Amino acid sequence: KAALKDVARVLNLPFGEANEMTKAFPNKLGMSISEALSTSSELKNFSEKDDINHKIFAIAQRLEGNYRQPGRHAAGVVISPYPLEEVVPLSTVAEKEKPGVRAIVTQYDKNNLESIGLIKMDILGLKNLTTLDYAIKLIEQRRGIRINLDEISYDDANTYSLLRKANTLGIFQLESTGITDLVAKSQVSNFDEIVALIALYRPGPMGEGMLDEYLDRKSGKKQVTYPHPSCEPILKETFGVPVYQEQVMSISRVVGGFSVGDSDVLRKAMAKKKADLMDKLKVQFVEGAVKQGIQEKVAKDLFEQLERFGGYGFNKSHSVAYAIITYQTAYLKANYTIEYLTALLASDHGKTTDIVKYINNAREMGIQILNPDVSESQASFSVIDNTTIRFGLSAMKGVGETAANSIIQARTKVGSFRTLQDFALNIDTRLINKKVFEALIQAGALDSFGYTRKCLFESVDSILTFAQKEQERANEGQFSLFGNEESSFSLNLPKDALEWEIDEKLKREKAIAGLYLSGHPLDKYEKQLKSLKTIPIEKFDDLKSGTKVEVAGVISSKNIKLSKRNEEFANFKLEDRTGEIECVAFAKTYQKYKEFIKEDQAIFIKGDLDKIEVGDAELRGQVKVNSIEILDDATIEDKLEKSLHLRLEERHTEDPELVPKLYALLACYKGESSVYFHIVENQEEKRVIRAHDTYSIQPINELFLRLADLLGDRSVFYSVGEQLKVINKSQAAG
């Protein structure tokens, strides 16, 4: 599938056609192009459409199975008894985070390395372990409790309640939208089920139906059965579905009479799909089963079932190791929420996209994230109380660890910063220079002194001059800086000065903090956007490639590029309160809407979701933009559903002339707003009937007043989104 997409791009097949073609490719793990052509008539039609398409398929089949590009394992280390250059070809790849530096890598993959007697070890560092460690320290500092994760209960009700509510952000292995929904759907209730879900939530088991089978049996939709009675003790924990490689190995020993060594050979053969070896092992398995009194057909069927599922089986030992960290992170989030979320934010320092998600999650849990404050903030995120986290000083762009620690040291020395003057007199102006001062102001770290950010920003030079002169006088012994003497001059800044407009304030705040803290540009449209039912960006993980999407957001960055045809197009990032996604406006779209594509602009876009394929997984990808509108009150008003609601009581329905008059009146004002009849009996609404589209109306005051005159007061209502207005005889719709 990836080969088809790449060849189509190189041969300049239009994006839309290429997308339709690859969408016709069956969604089955490991399927080749030739297999797909024999399975999908739609794909076959694409291949035979014309010479270009025929060429695309021919080239793709020649490329199929080759490496697309060199890859490098994140933490794979090759161990050899000899110098590597003597036993394996080497190469170099660029270090992503170290410009100009190249790392040495082998040109053999893992399997080839093992075949020549070398060992590849995966030495992985987990951020989650740092988060756990910091959370435990915070808990001890605040509560005087030292948590030993080796001694926590694996039957904690709060932990499983958190998981069942799908509150899994920040939980190891459970953060993706797909597995979050799966955890909620499965109503996980014990540790073994966490282990199983981690093993099953992979392309292979899902593609073979193992996950659905497991869920159906667990929920009682399907009966739990076993391929043979002797398999029940082995498969009982997974409701009769072979999930782990260890289960397949155990069945081969119990049913097929395999030795421990033979069962491991079977595991490897299944995992690597070695057909010749599997044929031999099948004969051995069936013969062993027959010797134990099992019918030959039953033994063959069982082996084929194991072969089908076992090829995608996961090491239980591996899954348990993952699940332990999964449970530990969930346990701390459920029982020590404020400390865990603070540790999570501190661990992701600098990763704005993740921090935005975690802050939104904290807010959903009733936790407030306060702006940085020189009078309260620590260098990193810190706990204020059980419902409040304070943003860290060093987490701001332009401040850094050295300046942050300098502020904290000065604050510790004097006890607290009571006023702006107090702050200015005690900081080290060699470290807290103009750039740092401006960053502190724009992020809101000086708000507690009572001045507007605009006033402070425009007064930075005066404040620093004041601080430097006063500190020079102190050093010269002209007065006591920390004594009771009055300063030779003071800061006389107005506390009632004008503030930046909210959008400007938020823009500057985000430039320093990396995200919006005191609000969001979309806040003023929150209710209307809910009425529009736009898709939050965090939900894009659930959508399939090619899905039509409508989304509102703010452009956080843009990049104008030139295509191979020397035409300008735009890549930009769009963010809402839930996340961020890449967007691309190709040449024609860009030329039409380029005046709207600017940083910090709130927009509403329509487009197609184009997910990126990496192996067998689909990542969020990007939105191919089809249209853009400026997001403002007028745009939203125009998009909101507008409906007329008529309340019909017995007095209305009993009048034989009223309904014909009503329809005749509606017919005089044809438009696009839907009409709903609310049938009321004994003061209770019994049903709602939507009128046929031929009776949709134009929402104008004249119609509303005529309807109110016909039906009476409190019988005519007009809705725009979720806002409802009653129309009485003396009123206009407005």
458 with 600, same domain: the answer is no
Q: What is the C-alpha separation between 401 and 407, in angstroms, rounded?
A: 10
Asked whether residue 45 is assigned to any structural domain, the reply reads: yes
pLDDT at residue number 729: 64
474 with 528, same domain: the answer is no
Asked whether residue 89 is assigned to any structural domain, the reply reads: yes
Length of the chain in terms of residues written: 734
Of 340, 332, 331, 361, the closest CA to residue 160 belongs to 331
Asked whether residue 333 is assigned to any structural domain, the reply reads: no
pTM for this predicted structure: 0.69
Residue with tokens 């960290």: 325
Asked whether residue 68 is assigned to any structural domain, the reply reads: no
508 with 621, same domain: the answer is no
469 with 577, same domain: the answer is no
455 CB burial (10 A radius; 0-12, 13-18, 19+): middle
Phi, psi of 97 (to 5 degrees): -95, 5
Asked whether residue 330 is assigned to any structural domain, the reply reads: no
Contacts of 242 (CB under 8 A, 6+ apart): 210, 235, 248, 251, 305, 306, 309, 310, 313
Of 616, 637, 658, the one marking the end of a domain is 637
Dihedral angle computed from the Cα positions of residues 343, 378, 575 and 339, in that order, rounded to the nearest 10 degrees: 20
For the domain that residue 405 is a member of, what is the CATH number?
1.10.150
Contacts of 663 (CB under 8 A, 6+ apart): 695
Contacts of 140 (CB under 8 A, 6+ apart): 146, 147
Contact 327, 159 (CB under 8 A): yes
pLDDT at residue number 464: 92
497 with 428, same domain: the answer is yes
pLDDT at residue number 733: 44
532 with 610, same domain: the answer is yes
92 with 148, same domain: the answer is no
| Secondary element (H or E) of residue 105 | strand 102-106
Residue with tokens 């507690």: 448
175 with 309, same domain: the answer is yes
162 with 282, same domain: the answer is yes
Contact 240, 230 (CB under 8 A): no
Residue with tokens 């339709």: 20
394 with 419, same domain: the answer is yes
Asked whether residue 70 is assigned to any structural domain, the reply reads: no
Provide the domain limits for residue 431: 348-513
Q: What is the C-alpha separation between 630 and 577, in angstroms, rounded?
A: 18
Q: Which residues of the chain have pLDDT under 70?
A: 29, 97, 310-311, 350, 477-491, 612-620, 729-734
Q: What is the C-alpha separation between 675 and 693, in angstroms, rounded?
A: 8
Q: Which two tokens stand for residue 243?
A: 């999930």
pLDDT at residue number 482: 46
609 with 646, same domain: the answer is no
